[in-house]
Amino acid sequence: MRTLQLGVSDLIVPRIALGCMRLSQDRAEALRTIRTALDAGITFFDHADIYQRGRAEETFAAIWEEAPHLRQSIYLESKCGIRVAGDTDPRAPFRYDFSYEHIISAVEGSLRRLKTDYLDVLLLHRPDALMEPEEVARAFDELHATGKVRWFGVSNHTPGQIQLLQRWVNQPLIANQLQLSLEHTNLIDEGIWMNRSDLPEPSRGEGTLDFCRLHNITIQAWSPLAGGRLGGRRPEHADPRLERTSAVVAEMAAEKGISPEAILVAWILRHPARILPIIGTMNPERIANACRADEIELTREEWYRLYEAGRGVRVP
């Protein structure tokens, strides 16, 4: 599989990653999923401390028992900052926490569950309204100095939030993980529908796509397969837009002799921002299918045909 550089880091990773939120708690099944990804060329795995309350990280670590030396060729990313209701106090609500104490504790927990000495990348999961950037900087400095985290980034952050953090944080923020698919095109819409009042649906891209490109921050696209809704899985409720988009995706896949999953991922890879899709399926067949996106490159016309299908209207 072809590779890309994560931001300004020295990490050269496959241009498709696997998100481990839904990794099976059955050890044998989880190992089959991981091996399928490795066989397809994926060596970059995305985690978060809240995925299955940490059990996804624990299950993933079973791979070291079969291949102890594999850690040297695998890139591990995890996220922290989300705390569930009842954590530490029965009255505590679902919330975000970028305090020094929580960041340090969360990373220590991820390292313990993943059975590794370091994370290649740590992302702050969702913006904390009570963030004090000095505390984040203090935590990052300690984690970097002790070798527990090599590089840092964010997830679901706006340009202003990134700039605020970067003013205090000494390490470059190399990634911003954001939702992007043919079903969810907000990041791209605002550039195309700029200064128009007839945008079919609201777009709150906040200039994030261009900002990340200007500052060498790699966008990692989460849910690029739209939860399977554009690849053949029927939604619970009829949705003309999804049905229309799915039909165009299926037709193009048939023309190229590949799967709908590959078309969906190829659509993201075709963008010049060098966006890194993080596929979330745990189905070995769908993982292998999605990775075939690396074999093709959509034409400009094919890209816009898919975009038009996803939006439901032609570009202005």
Minimal CA–CA distance to 42: which of 66, 15, 68? 15
Note whether 242 and 183 are within 8 A (CB): yes
CA distances from 28 to 19, 59, 62, 66 (A): 18, 10, 9, 11
Distance of alpha carbon 33 from alpha carbon 289, whole angstroms: 13
Amino acid found at 32: R
Distance of alpha carbon 306 from alpha carbon 245, whole angstroms: 7
Q: Which residues are known catalytic residues?
A: 51
Per the listing, tokens 């970059």 go with 44
Note whether 81 and 40 are within 8 A (CB): no
